[in-house]
Amino acid sequence: MNDNKLQQLFAAARRETPPPAPEDFAAAVLRTIRCAPAERGPETGSFFDPLNRWGLRLAFASVAVIVLCASADLVMGAAGQPEADDGATQVSAQYFMNVEDM
């Protein structure tokens, strides 16, 4: 069977119109929903659903914040300003000095 004939078959099949849905179909769906008492309402998503949905975005946002902080620290260091680890060293030195004083 050549490709042209196959395309002809697909084109003809695409033209087919399906029979319409039964008139009371929507009501039947509602009945089914009501007949399932344990599942009366739409499921409220679990704790992990929003995490799954937003996981990738949160990861990108976290990486962006870390990169921003690191580059700001580097820029400040290059400009002669005290870097973040200078502050940490100072704090720990003060703490140890205080301990020694005690």
Partner 1 sequence: MTEDEELVRRIRGGATDDYAELVRRHQSRVFAILHRYERDWQRVEDLAQETFFKAWRALAQFDGRAPFEHWISRIAVRTALDHLRKENKHRKHDVALDDLGEDVLDWLHHDADRNELEARGAAEVLHLALRQLPPLDRAVLIQQELEGRNFREIAATLGTSVIAVRVRAVRARAKLRRALENLGAGPMTERRRRGTDSRPGI
Q: State the residues that interact with partner 1 by CB under 8 A.
A: 1-2, 4-6, 8-10, 12-22, 25-30, 32-34, 36, 39, 41-45, 49, 53
Q: Which is nearer to partner 1, 16 or 100 (CB)?
A: 16
**Which are the contacts of 74, defined by CB distance < 8 A and separation ≥ 6?**
83
Q: Which is nearer to partner 1, 45 or 87 (CB)?
A: 45
- Tell the smallest beta-carbon distance from residue 97 to partner 1 (Å): 55
Residues 73 and 83: beta-carbon distance below 8 Å: yes
CA contacts within 13 A on the Cβ side of 8: 5
